[in-house]
Chain A
Amino acid sequence: MDLALFQRHSEYAWEIAPHGAMRVPAVIYADQDLISNMDHKVYEQICNVAMLPGIVQASYAMPDAHWGYGFPIGGVAAFDAGDGGVVSAGGVGFDISCGVRCLRTGLQVGAVMAVQKKLADSLYRDIPAGLGSSGTIHLNPAAMDAMLLGGAQWAVVQGHGDAADLECTEEQGCMGGAQPACVSEHAKRRQRDEMGTLGSGNHYLEVQKVVQLFDSSAAQAMGLHEDDVVVSIHCGSRGLGHQIGTEFLKRMVIAAPQHGITLPDRELACAPIDSRLGQEYLGAMRAAINCALANRQILTQLVRNVFARVLPAAQLTLLYDVSHNTCKVEQHTVAGTTHTLHVHRKGATRAFGPGHPALPDALRATGQPVLIGGSMGTASYVLVGTRAGEALSYSSACHGAGRAMSRHQAFKTWQGRQVIDELAARGILIRSPSGRGIAEEAPGAYKDIEAVVDAADAAGLARKVARLEPLVCIKG
């Protein structure tokens, strides 16, 4: 990206002044290397987002931003319904409420490494992963609607996990305002046999070790210590979310002229928040959030069942569950006054700072855990939200490393077996049904996660707490 296009406000904040049809500025948080290497499409996309009706303050991109659909992946934008603001299906994405859940195990590395292979094989056998896999749960229409209304709370009532898990899940495990009636029969049909499945692509389940702490006080509050073992689950709302995204994208594109909206890019398909279509999308999207929360809750119980057999001493407790593809109604301070805004985060993680009322009691003084997924061979991170993040990016931070190479190029560069063997030599066991999928997800196909996380920390979006490295990775 050409740095001459930006006004540099600080070492980590790069602003594009409004021009053309832009209503507000666009801001990218990154260091000079990251922004230099970003695709020019990110520039085009954050400028396009800044043209949408009712956008407030600025269109933002996080340090891991890359070319997405309409919004860049790593994009954040907030809209005011009272000012003609919109909700955008493209601004949430296809994998609605994709997110990361992290579980403490109460174990240390030595105990897990003693049974590493058995654990990897058992997790691979019991966690449905990859294309065509289905779970053991099959929902009839009444159960489907109950799940879409209840989310992880529904899953816990059905016997998947503990009520204590809900305290450390966003929205206490149940997104209000879900409307199963707004979810099509096609979307429900796609989900019927997919509860408790991981999916494929960049989704994974990892057993990880805590290798470094950066903030001992926050780590203490989160129950993290060096050498601890945790389990991270990265997945979303599966076929249901994909189908909802697909259907509403088309409806919003077709309806845009009726709403008086000129779309700079069809993928930015949106509708006024107060329109019937906007409200129907919000009802369906919130149901998909509940689907993702229920899915990760069911997977949690499957993981607990495996640990109970392989490592009975383990006590799997939830550190936190946070999504990175959502639109949520939140209160934010803009120019000194409080506004109720629809905040879109597309490949960006909510990162509430200390004291935020949405946080569970045990974390309120610390701030919200921000869970950043890496690739198979690199690190993941736990960060914590900051007070400064509120003014910088509506309390949002990055969500992962972000791809540096296309899948096509990665497949030409690596072979699945070679990646598995190289990682095994480093003590990381990979289990996956797809060799080509492993090649496409090779660690070298991703950006340097250290640079992304360091930029988020230095920019003040979130603060580093712990670095995690994989021991076992179940890849879809």
Chain B
Amino acid sequence: MSVNTATGTGSARASTRWEHFPHDADIGVRGFGATREQAFEQAAMALTAVITDPAGIVAGGKVEIACQAPDDELLLVDWLNALVYEMATRNWVFGRFAVRISGQDLGAQAWGEALDSARHRPTVEVKGATYTALRVAQQADGSWVAQCVVDV
């Protein structure tokens, strides 16, 4: 695969992007955004990039996702695990996300398509998002970061 799967830019705004970070056995996903919602969307892009190149996904179908957790960090893990569940049970991959957060509730749309092994060349299945290196925080410049390690 020629695409660099370690980082990606989510939009023209340089602060909206994702990256992977190392963990001994697994892999870390990290999203940056001007808002908490954007950071969650970018973390989801990083999750997809563990599996396949997000640029190769035709975002034709839409799935609605809702989850709830008592704090931002648990909400991030819930959000990523909801995507893991949708990927596993629909056999889909997702390449675009829109997240809304209100208090303890997250509502989102995820756009994607059925996994095509020949075209998507999936690397690995994500078992679940974990609480390891889990962090959701606003940085000094006002932008947000959302990250955790995912078990593969």
Chain A: residues with CB nearer than 8 A to chain B? 39, 41, 66-70, 73, 93-95, 130-132, 134, 186, 189-190, 199-201, 239, 242-243, 245-246, 249-250, 253-254, 265-267, 269, 402-403, 406-409, 411-412, 433-437, 440, 476
Contacts and interface: CB of A to CB of B under 8 A. Distances in A.
Interface in B60-84: 69-70, 74, 77-78, 81, 84
Contact of A239 (B6, B88, B122): B88
**Which of A189, A199, A201, A246 has the most CB atoms of chain B within a 10 A radius of its CB?**
A246
Interface stretch (B16-24, B32-40, B138-146): B16-24
Nearest to A98: B127
Contacts of A70: 131-132
A25 to B, nearest CB: 24
Given A186-B85, A250-B69, A253-B74, A266 B131 contact: yes
A437 B69 contact: no
Nearest to A265: B131
7 contacts: A69-B149, A70-B132, A94-B151, A132-B115, A190-B89, A242-B84, A408-B20
A267 B132 contact: yes
B152 A407 contact: yes
B124 A253 contact: no
A437 B124 contact: yes
Contact of A434 (B121, B127, B132): B121
B5 interface: yes
A407 B27 contact: yes
Given A190-B88, A201-B152, A250-B77, A434 B124 contact: yes
B117 interface: yes
Contacts of B78: 250
B130 A69 contact: yes
A68 B115 contact: no
Given A131-B115, A254-B70, A440 B89 contact: no
Contacts of A412: 6
Q: Closest 5 interchain pairs by CB? A: A406-B22, A131-B122, A242-B127, A436-B123, A266-B131
Which of B21, B69, B89, B130 has the most chain A CB atoms closer than 10 A to its own CB?
B130
B24 A39 contact: yes
Contacts of B123: 131, 200, 434, 436-437, 440
A95 B74 contact: no
Q: Main secondary structure on chain B at its contact with chain A?
A: loop
Given A95-B127, A200-B124, A266-B131, A67 B6 contact: no
B1 interface: yes
Nearest to B123: A436
Nearest to B134: A266
Contacts of A242: 84, 127-128, 151
Nearest to A192: B89
Contacts of A73: 24-25
Contacts of A239: 88
Given A201-B152, A408-B22, A131 B128 contact: no
Given A95-B127, A250-B69, A130 B132 contact: no
B25 A68 contact: yes
Contacts of B151: 69, 93-95, 242
A436 B123 CA distance: 6
A130 B117 contact: yes
A402 B24 CA distance: 9
B26 A407 contact: yes
Contacts of B5: 411, 436
Given A246-B128, A266-B131, A131 B51 contact: yes
Nearest to B129: A246
Given A132-B91, A402-B25, 19 more contacts: A41-B24, A67-B24, A69-B131, A93-B151, A94-B127, A94-B128, A131-B117, A131-B122, A132-B115, A132-B117, A190-B88, A200-B122, A242-B84, A266-B134, A267-B130, A407-B124, A434-B124, A435-B121, A437-B123
A266 B131 CA distance: 6
B22 to A, nearest CB: 4
Contact of A436 (B70, B121, B128, B129): B121
Interface in B105-128: 115, 117, 121-125, 127-128
A250 B77 CA distance: 9
Most chain B CB within 10 A, of A66, A131, A199, is at: A131
A434 B125 CA distance: 11
Contacts of A434: 121-124
Interface in B1-51: 1, 5-6, 20-27, 51
B27 A406 contact: yes
Nearest to A93: B151
A70 to B, nearest CB: 8
A67 B81 CA distance: 21
Nearest to A45: B132
A427 to B, nearest CB: 26
Nearest to B22: A406
A95 B25 CA distance: 13
Q: Which of A73, A95, A239, A408 has the most chain B CB within a 10 Å cutoff? A: A408
